[in-house]
Amino acid sequence: MSDGLTHLNSSGEANMVDVTGRDITVREAIASGRVILSPHVVALLRDGTTPKGDVLSTARIAGIMAAKKTSELIPLCHPIAINKILVELWINDSGVEIRSKVITSDRTGVEMEALTAVGVAGLTIIDMVKALDPSAEITEIHVDSKSGGKNGDWKRE
């Protein structure tokens, strides 16, 4: 392949990349996303009066748990030793902002783990408020930055 990626074998079938020869380095990824909610649900979140309990704490824990399960969910992701997972959530006038930071000392990066944390935290928010706001939506999930590894550092413009 011209881009040097090895996710396909010689028959064109999906293949897990062999990272055996890569150096173990500190790698970090930050991802973010948003959950858009009705003004009514935003008010309930701010007041802490949602019927299903503490939405943000539950979403934070779900995001942390999900990051640790990424290799079980995404077929070609490697199981890696995660050293740190941080999931932060902020209420704003349109809903909830989510940010995750994942750090490892391993042979491959943690972008997928950071994205998975954001996605599952967002899904958890929706699960906890869907009866109040069936139009709730997750949007703008993306990697903001990554560092470490053979490809070096990258930051979203």
As annotated, the active-site residues are 127
Torsion of CA 33, 39, 42, 44, to 10 degrees: -160
Three-state SS for 128? Answer: helix
Among 110, 111, 128, 112, smallest CA distance to 60 is for 128
H-helix segments, 69-155: 70-73, 111-129
First to last CA, the chain: 28
Cβ atoms < 10 Å from Cβ of 69:
13
- Name beta bridge partners: 100: 31, 87
Among 75, 69, 72, smallest CA distance to 13 is for 75
Structure tokens at 8: 């396909």
Q: Which residue type, as a one-letter code, is found at position 46?
A: R
